[in-house]
Chain A
Amino acid sequence: MSRRPADAFLRVASITSVALAGLILVAVVGVIVAGALPGLRTFGPWGFLGSAIWHPSSGQVGALAMVVGTIGVTGLALLIAVPLGGLTGLASGWLLPRGLAGLLRLVVMLASGLPSIVVGLWGLTAVVPILAQWHPPGASLLAAGLVLAMMTVPTVALIVDSALRTIDQQQRQATAALGLSSWGALAAVGLPTLRGGLLTGGVLATTRALGETMAVLLVAGNVVQVPGSIFDPVRTLTAGIALEMAYATGDHRAALFVLGLIALMVVMALLLTLRWLVRDDGTGAGYV
């Protein structure tokens, strides 16, 4: 123990803050579980996952349609974001000369900094009207997927880019000296890195897409139904919470907490799996 009182105070204060910060997650999980327990007790887990009929006021809390909606918009967003983000990341991290790559990286960073609500507004005023002319009603699974893709492509691109840039320049020069083309060199020395970048980017895009609420709410149409096609309106779990929390009471409110718990559990499982699969590379790309 230090002899100086100021040092002792510093030690206690910093350890207290780190303990508090570390315990927030525990508190969040605890509070959401506590909020969800009455709902789970009243309706049982099967009441939520065994039905697609959502009428909380008459005791029907089937969340299946919203689970399908969430999986649908997230899956569609990933189907667009992983290839498109991967290609853009390859452009700035591998293909383009230094100056152009820097410029592209700057624009991608600007795009990644767009608040999701602004992307949602663009979806509502620009994308939905076009889709409505092509395949009414416009506000649909497809619109939500496109808006989420716009949000997550830059994330995937930046992570792939920063992963590719960790490849040793000497290795690249050595492969060039062997007469390999730029893509031949990538196949020779860059594939594991590219795979790691796409995996990290994909999982982070998934958690972002799963958790996104307001932007999706603006463009998805929010009808509780299992969609028959990508042009049908859907409601996601998070949108369901946001739409009804303001007036929900009693069992209804507890049912919404169960929806929150489902979303929380899925995201936590994904993040912990990623942490187990990919060790922290120290770039901090995933945290910004």
Chain B
Amino acid sequence: MSDQAWRWRDRCLSGAVLIGTCVLLGAFLWLVVDLLITAWPRLTWSFLAEIPRRSGRSGGISSILVSTALILLVCWSVVLPLGLGAAVALSSSQHRWTQWVRTSLDVLSGIPSIVLGMFGMLVFGDLMGLGFSIASGGLTLACMILPLVIRVADAALRTVPKGLIANASALGLSRTTTLLHLILPAAMPGLAAAFALGTARALAETAALVFTAGASDRMPSSLADPGRTLSVHIYELAMNVAGGDASAAASAIVLLILLILIQAGGSALLGRISGTAG
């Protein structure tokens, strides 16, 4: 090929790359602007503080926020001990079985969330008798985010220098003391990032919750009551409530702001580990 033909081909490729990038950026911008315009009339402080009225067309989302928080609470009260324990076991062993557990967790993190919802409905709802409830929804979400949390926490625990652990063991410190006073504090930024990522994934979920936590928009009085998360609220307003678009978009903005706050916290912490580890 001649020199000119090469240069021509290079320009075409660069052009295609830039056009492709602009298409993605344009679509993203369109989405954000469209959402803001639709949501604008409903974006007031009272939107956060009032309960939903007329199926969410007016009023606010206070009961939705409470249900969301309670579902996250149930979810983390399972994931925190189980995820941390599993991550400690995985990060301190090189056995063959860890590969099996990792494969199992990777596949689990990829299966459709509606299938997890069916699992939760049968096991937590029917078998354990929780029915449509915040407890049932929180436990289902726990199964969903556990693989992600373990993966990130495992990676965080592995960044702790091996020398630190060897020194502690040479000094005669017990494994428990080493874990609680050396390893966990050293891995804390990464563990916090795992917490942020898991929370973000749980907040974004819809399909796994509709048949487990239910879709009631009333203020829950206990964990046995059904409750709607923000994502389910957006779905219900868009799908089943005529004239609910503005409220749906306003709820979406609230959800996005929450996610950005969580992710910003998480990535600031992730940046801090890569900064200190490098």
- A residues lining the B interface (CB < 8 Å): 2, 4, 6-7, 9-11, 13-18, 20-28, 31-32, 34-35, 83-88, 90-91, 95, 104, 107-108, 110-111, 113-122, 124-126, 150, 153-154, 157, 181-184, 204, 207, 210-214, 217-218, 238, 241-242, 245-246, 256-257, 260, 263-264, 267-268, 271-272, 275, 284, 286-288
Contacts and interface: CB of A to CB of B under 8 A. Distances in A.
Given A122-B31, A183-B10, A275-B103, A21 B146 contact: yes
Nearest to B175: A7
Interface in B105-129: 105-116, 118-119, 121-123
A181 B82 CA distance: 51
B204 A32 contact: no
B187 to A, nearest CB: 15
Contacts of A287: 106, 109, 147-148, 151-152
A264 B89 contact: no
A218 B238 contact: yes
Contacts of B81: 17
A287 to B, nearest CB: 5
Interface of A is mostly: helix
B132 to A, nearest CB: 10
Given A14-B86, A18-B89, A115-B231, A28 B115 contact: yes
B11 to A, nearest CB: 9
B72 interface: no
A6 B174 contact: yes
A241 B210 CA distance: 11
A264 B111 contact: yes
B85 A27 contact: no
Nearest to A256: B118
B82 A20 contact: yes
B96 to A, nearest CB: 13
Contact of A10 (B35, B90, B108, B175): B175
B27 interface: yes
B20 to A, nearest CB: 3
Contact of B110 (A88, A124, A154, A207): A207
Interface stretch (B41-49, B218-226, B255-263): B255-263
B54 interface: no
